[in-house]
Amino acid sequence: MNHSFDIPEAKKIRLIINTDAMNEADDQFAIVHALLTPRFLIKGIIAAHFGTLRTTTSMQESYDEVVKVLDLMGLEKEVPLYKGAEKAMPDEQTPVLSEGAELIIREAHADDPRRLYVIFLGPITDLAAAYMKDPTIEDKLTVIWIGGGAWPNGESEFNLSNDIDAANVIYRSNIQLWQVPRNVYTTMRVSIAELAVRVKPYGKIGEYLYQQLVDFNMMSSHSLIWPKGEMWSLGDSPAVSLLLDEHEYGYTMKPAPFITKEMLYVHHQQERLIRVYDYVDPRFTLEDMYAKLQLYNQ
């Protein structure tokens, strides 16, 4: 797509977006933010499942939601869309293969000097499948995952809950992994009033981003815990902003744990390290998204 400004070609990166877009209301903001970012050469979007708690067709629902977002932006013919796994791995030895996993393998081996990044806004089922089918990809990509509980103990967390086995597979691999855990991604707080002013006025996509969040907020009013009524966390958005600036003082390299079925971290080794974020700048993340949405609408 045409951007309102450009950057040097040498600064651009290849990007694949893996999204459980119909899970709730924040994936859509991260997808649009990524699409509006000149640094990203988007090689495809993969629709991800989000478990079976609310529906048995979650991957297809995510796929349909991405179709809607691309259509509103007039990008349905420009951005390839792929189907991911329909469900979680049944165990740590059995991958659930998909066309999304095939895309990851294909792009990892592409003859392109630009680094490949894959952002996961939900479970990492498709990454585990790609790695298990072709372990040689492990040094050819960098993964940013929005998921997992706070360190060091872990906790119940939605994205992780939808495929704990896949997370353990990736934690044992040598894939370069950046994890944004729950205590960090929830700091992307916005108010509905803020979104009404900073997002809703800016074109069809701005109006849709706002309205689908408001609709989900109203639909979820039976919950006493989440959402809280007048606010949301755009928790998937750090996956975009960390590829604009990796916040070199915002993370620590930590030994990858084993994750129990209760989603607790068991610290059992010291050699396999992953990057775990303890801070992502909300102002930078959200203001960049607002500015790009406004420039796009102009």
| pLDDT string in tens for the chain (298-residue length) | 788 889 999 999 999 999 999 999 999 999 999 999 999 999 999 999 999 988 999 999 999 999 999 999 999 999 999 999 999 999 999 999 999 999 999 999 999 999 999 999 999 999 999 999 999 999 999 999 999 999 999 999 999 999 999 999 999 999 999 999 999 999 999 999 999 999 999 999 999 999 999 999 888 655 555 567 899 999 999 999 999 999 999 999 999 999 999 999 999 999 999 999 999 999 999 999 999 999 999 8
Rg, Å, the chain Cα set: 18
User: In this structure, are residues 45 and 79 in contact, taking their beta carbons and an 8 Å threshold?
Assistant: yes
Which residues lie closer than 8 Å to 111 by C-beta, 6 or more apart? none
One-letter amino acid identity for 203? G
Cβ count within 10 A of residue 109: 13
Enter the pTM of the model.
0.96
CA distances from 49 to 125, 216, 232, 263 (A): 9, 18, 22, 19
